[in-house]
Amino acid sequence: MPCQSSDELKLLVKEAKVCTNYGKVADYIPELGKANPNDLSIAINYPDGRCISAGDIDKKFTLQSISKVISLALVLMERGSPYVFERVGMEPTGDPFNSIAKLETMAPAKPLNPMINAGALVVTHMIKGDTVEERFHRLLTFIRELIGDDTIGYCERVARSEFETANLNRALCYFLKQHKIIQEDVETLLDLYTKQCAVEMNCLDLARIGMIFAMDGVDPLTGKRIMPDDVARICKTFMVTCGMYNASGEFAIKIGIPAKSGVSGGIMGAVPGKFGIGIFGPALDEKGNSIAGIRLLELLSKNYRLSMF
Ligand code: GLN
């Protein structure tokens, strides 16, 4: 029996919140360093439209790496999976999300998966359109459709802050360009990528996206298919194998829910066939995952037997 009430969630948030004292907010993107490490919020969105939540649920945060699942879904729809997987692989790396190590030793230099930065940059490169504005608009339109909210936008300050400091991502792009995996101008791609990562929402919105993935791409309230079930399936599989960076194995064993995290402290969960989860807790563990967010998911998974394995 899944968690049924906001009161139950409030108790779990209270318990998990202690962990926020042991994490650190990401500051390699200077704007993210301004987050309050003690924030913690969670929402669960059920297919029948019910939503339960607890914590500072109105706080907005940027998607960061969570956006990688959404851009992947868009590109799979726009280009088809053979085209996409010719350019990015399907294997977990066991390395940190921003590592360049495996790129250098792989031949060809194709990134191992779309959830590490190198792979996500290749995915963003594949978003169709002639200008950054047009391509970003396509992505934003898709995100707005997933949530059912036309007001979703991005945080310019966070995008600019990352664009100005993203030298490691620049290095990854130049490496990929040298190996002809990407062709476009590096600054243009980084402009689009940093805007993608800066798309902003609250945990209720994120839970709603998780619910659409959980329901194989259909909005159960309207019956409208937002993405093909095969695309939702591929995305959820990546969430299991690579969604929590190099903590994905431990996460699969301890929690067993397809999930994707971001360095802003967001985590999106998609419990197959059941519901979506949105979490925001900006204090991170050493691998870059929300420390209290993981604890919260661990409590939820154990208490309500949510592991899919
Ligand atoms: N925008 C961030 C980056 O590229 C996303 C990383 C993350 O959330 N792990 O560094």
Of 139, 167, 197, the one marking the end of a domain is: 197
Strands of 199-201's sheet, edge to edge?
61-62, 199-201, 153-154
State yes or no: is 174 an active-site residue: no
The mean pLDDT values, 10 residues at a time, for the chain of 309 residues are 82 96 96 97 97 96 98 98 96 84 79 95 98 98 97 98 97 94 97 98 98 98 96 98 94 98 98 98 97 98 95
Assigned token pair, 161: 């802050």
pLDDT for 1 equals 58
Q: What is the CATH number of the domain that holds 94?
A: 1.10.1500.10
Place of tokens 């994120």: 206
Distance 25 CA to ligand 1 centre (A): 13
Span between the terminal Cα atoms of the chain, in Å: 16
Q: What angle do CA 107, 109, 110 make, to 5 degrees?
A: 110
Overall size of the chain counted in residues: 309
Per DSSP bridges, beta strands 275-280 and 266-271 are: antiparallel
- Does 235 map to a domain? yes
41 CB near ligand 1 (under 6 Å): no
For residue 280, the surrounding DSSP H or E stretch is strand 275-280
State yes or no: is 83 an active-site residue: no
- Bridge partner list, 53: 43
User: Do 180 and 97 belong to one domain?
Assistant: yes
Of 197, 221, 241, the one marking the end of a domain is: 197
For residue 53, the surrounding DSSP H or E stretch is strand 51-55
d(CA 126, CA 103) in angstroms, rounded, equals: 19
User: Do 160 and 231 belong to one domain?
Assistant: no
State yes or no: is 263 an active-site residue: yes
Which residue in 41, 53, 65, 161 is the catalytic one? 65
User: Do 34 and 146 belong to one domain?
Assistant: no
- Does 176 map to a domain? yes
Mutation pick for ligand 1 pocket among 28, 32, 64 (CB with most ligand atoms within 8 Å): 64
CA 169 to chain centre: 17
Mutation pick for ligand 1 pocket among 62, 97, 158 (CB with most ligand atoms within 8 Å): 97
Distance 117 CA to ligand 1 centre (A): 7
User: Do 16 and 89 belong to one domain?
Assistant: no
- Does 56 map to a domain? yes
Closest CA to 149 of 244, 249, 232, 45: 45
Atom nearest to 65 CA in ligand 1: 8
User: Do 193 and 208 belong to one domain?
Assistant: no
Domain range spanning residue 75?
A: 65-197
Atom nearest to 264 CA in ligand 1: 8
- Does 272 map to a domain? yes
- Does 148 map to a domain? yes
State yes or no: is 154 an active-site residue: no
Distance 237 CA to ligand 1 centre (A): 20
The tally of domains found in the chain comes to 2
- Does 309 map to a domain? no
- Does 308 map to a domain? no
Q: What is the CATH number of the domain that holds 223?
A: 3.40.710.10
pLDDT for 109 equals 80
User: Do 142 and 244 belong to one domain?
Assistant: no
User: Do 127 and 177 belong to one domain?
Assistant: yes
Spatial CB neighbours of 274, under 8 Å, sequence gap ≥ 6: 2, 46, 47, 214, 306
Of 197, 216, 241, the one marking the end of a domain is: 197
Residues of each annotated binding site: 65, 117, 162, 169, 193, 245, 263
pLDDT for 2 equals 66
What number of other Cβ atoms are within 10 A of residue 296's Cβ? 29
